[in-house]
Amino acid sequence: MESPGRMITDEDKRIRGMEAREDFVRDTWYPIWESKRLGRQPVRVTRLGRELVLWRDGQGQPVAQEAACPHRGADLSRGRVVGGCLECPYHGMRFAADGACVRVPCEGKARPIRADLRVKGYAVRESLGLVWLWWGEQREELPPLPWNHEIPGTGAGTCTATLTWNVPFARVMEGNLDLHHFPFAHRRWAPGMGTWLDPYTARLEGDVIHTHGVMREDDGKPWDGRSGFEAELRVLFPHLLLARFGRRTQALVAATPIDAENTWVVFRYRSQLPLVGGLVAWLLVQTELRFIQPEDYALLRDSEPRHPVRQDFHLVRADAGIALWFRLYERRLEAQRTPSSHAPVMHVP
């Protein structure tokens, strides 16, 4: 039985229900695909609960549109790009990057094309080796891509990998902000790592959660400034995490909801060690993929409830960053439900 302090209110249930119904944080640029994996062939991806086809137009610019052909619903990702347009595999209708249908072969060239024969699209940009999709209200001018100058690119000394997890978005972000699980969840890879998170600070500046902590032996003394494992994590709400380990290693972890139950995760390491940086980054990514992430995945996938609210947890001091994230998350979802923000998720045009 739950104690009174742990009562789950109707409001909590409502928030949880919202999440399960695929309400994602809006007005955000989400990374949805790796640039290097988008070539001449269209690809189909599910992101933010939508079935999308990604392709490149005549200028090589990425395009994201609804995967179902507006004619009779065929999967446009099975089509091909011809003359800078996407051709449906079923009856050959062609759609331009702006969504307009420009050719209906069965009607001949002379017959006008009905104006409502359009494919819905989303604003996308490409930067830092990733394709980003704007999930939010259409605006005259969209905000710049987030942290564009801080995120490590794909140049020398970097290595990138992506994962698809059967874990809801909020649970992934909770895991990302967690420092003190390491000596337990990843015991085999951190022999001798102290279990005391001290010092630890977490603070909010705008939409950025800053945390800094040191995992070390619990000697009961103030930190000497050297011992232990020091990490600095920043999360640009809701989905981008930049981590610094020591002076020369950085990591990006970006999470994008696939749907309410699944999340796409991008890992990127950068090592600034001269000459061997690329190798070090590759080794770090391999270690993540083979050893660390499977352990996190199993824990997060099976954590209950899958769509938590803060009241489900009994948080401790070392969870302060997670508490800040959930506070922002719940506030943002709440704000999105107010009538003024009920503008439909935008489509271009």
Residues that bind ligand FES in the complex, under the rule CB under 6 A: 69, 71-74, 88, 90-91, 93
Q: Which does 330 bind (CB under 5 to 8 A by kind): ligand FES, Fe ion, none?
A: none
Distance CA 44, CA 52 (A): 6
Q: Which does 71 bind (CB under 5 to 8 A by kind): Fe ion, ligand FES, none?
A: ligand FES
Of the two residues 102 and 299, which places its CB atom closer to Fe ion in the complex? Answer: 299
Of the two residues 90 and 196, which places its CB atom closer to ligand FES in the complex? Answer: 90
Distance CA 257, CA 140 (A): 26
Distance CA 181, CA 58 (A): 48
* Minimum separation from the CB atom of position 41 to ligand FES (A): 17
Q: Which does 38 bind (CB under 5 to 8 A by kind): ligand FES, Fe ion, none?
A: none
Distance CA 223, CA 226 (A): 8
Q: Which residue has 């999967």 as its token pair?
A: 75
Distance CA 284, CA 292 (A): 10
Report CA-CA distances (Å) from 123 to 29, 30, 198, 286.
Answer: 9, 11, 43, 33
Of the two residues 79 and 129, which places its CB atom closer to ligand FES in the complex? Answer: 79
Of the two residues 134 and 325, which places its CB atom closer to Fe ion in the complex? Answer: 325
* Minimum separation from the CB atom of position 107 to ligand FES (A): 11
- B/e letters for 253-288, b = 16+ CB within 10 Å, e = fewer, are bbbbbbbbbbbbbbbbbbbeeeeebbebbbebbeeb
For the chain, the maximum distance between any two Cα atoms, rounded to a whole number of angstroms, is 84
DSSP, residue by residue, 40-89: SS-EEEEETTEEEEEEE-TTS-EEEEESB-TTT--BGGGSEEETTEEEPT
Of the two residues 69 and 185, which places its CB atom closer to ligand FES in the complex? Answer: 69
Q: Which does 93 bind (CB under 5 to 8 A by kind): ligand FES, Fe ion, none?
A: ligand FES
- Nearest residue to Fe ion by CB is 296
Q: Which does 317 bind (CB under 5 to 8 A by kind): ligand FES, Fe ion, none?
A: none
Q: Which residues make up the interface to Fe ion (CB under 5 A)?
A: 296
**Cβ contact 341:335 at 8 Å:** yes
Of the two residues 28 and 77, which places its CB atom closer to ligand FES in the complex? Answer: 77
* Minimum separation from the CB atom of position 175 to Fe ion (A): 6
Distance CA 148, CA 128 (A): 8
Q: Which does 296 bind (CB under 5 to 8 A by kind): ligand FES, Fe ion, none?
A: Fe ion
What is the CA angle 244-322-314, rounded to 5?
A: 140
Of the two residues 44 and 72, which places its CB atom closer to ligand FES in the complex? Answer: 72
Q: Which does 74 bind (CB under 5 to 8 A by kind): Fe ion, ligand FES, none?
A: ligand FES
Distance CA 154, CA 88 (A): 33
* Minimum separation from the CB atom of position 73 to ligand FES (A): 6
* Minimum separation from the CB atom of position 117 to ligand FES (A): 9
* Minimum separation from the CB atom of position 101 to ligand FES (A): 9
Q: Which does 90 bind (CB under 5 to 8 A by kind): ligand FES, Fe ion, none?
A: ligand FES
Of the two residues 93 and 214, which places its CB atom closer to ligand FES in the complex? Answer: 93
